Amino acid sequence: MNRTVYSREGKELRSIELDDSVFGLPINDDLIWYAVNNELANKRLGTASTKDRGEVHGSNAKPYKQKGTGRARRGDKKSPILVGGGTIFGPKPRDFSYAIPKKAKRLALKTILSLKVQSDNLKVVEDFSIESGKTRDLAALLNNFGVPERTVVILKDDDPMVKRAGANIPWLSFLSYNRLRAHDLFYGRRVLLFETAAKNLSEFYGKEAAQ
């Protein structure tokens, strides 16, 4: 498929051919959900922890005798039904991460890219860099592509000056073409794809690379 390449000023420059095996796939909602939730699960810390009755501080002595008081039988003061007692079936540290098949993850990323193209939320822009590394210079450039909204910029490489300039823009995130994240890509309302990154994506995720 052909897409227009835009200049830094937001003007049309030329056309570029995008690989249909990367940017022209049918949308698979289930696969996208699978990939996004996998990333969210892998980011969970799983550090929540509670103490059961064997771990809370307290005496092991009976608070009162077994019989003759007319009250419930108490073995100690650490019972879960007493104030200050242990917790029943409370959370313990655990690992929420899990792996999904590599082919499924790659297909999900290509599906999201195809979704952005079909919804006209992806623009191919000429490669640029922010030599000054200043936020105002990058913000002025991004304004040429529409109103500020949640934006993902797919870079051709790790450009430290561009990332430095965008560090203070809360609605902006950067991804490298070979290290995409399904969550950021899917929830980005606008995707700006570097022209070189578009070619690299076709080579990295295309039919030849998948074999």
CA atoms 36, 37, 39, 43: torsion sign: positive
Which residues pair with residue 155 across a beta bridge? 176
Domain boundaries, the chain: 2-27+101-210
Using one digit for the tens of pLDDT, what is the confidence trace for 15-41?
888 888 899 999 999 999 999 999 999
Structure tokens at 71: 């009250």
> Which amino acid makes up residue 67?
K
Residues contacting residue 115 through CB under 8 Å, at least 6 positions apart:
27, 32, 186
Closest CA to 109 of 16, 189, 204, 4: 204
CATH 3.40.1370.10 fits 2-27+101-210, yes or no: yes
State the pTM of this model: 0.83
Using one digit for the tens of pLDDT, what is the confidence trace for 178-204?
899 999 999 999 999 999 999 898 888
Q: Pairing mode, if any, of strands 2-6 and 122-125?
A: parallel
Q: Does residue 90 contact residue 159 with C-beta atoms inside 8 Å?
A: no
**Chain position carrying tokens 């082919």:** 103
Q: What is the pLDDT of residue 131?
A: 87
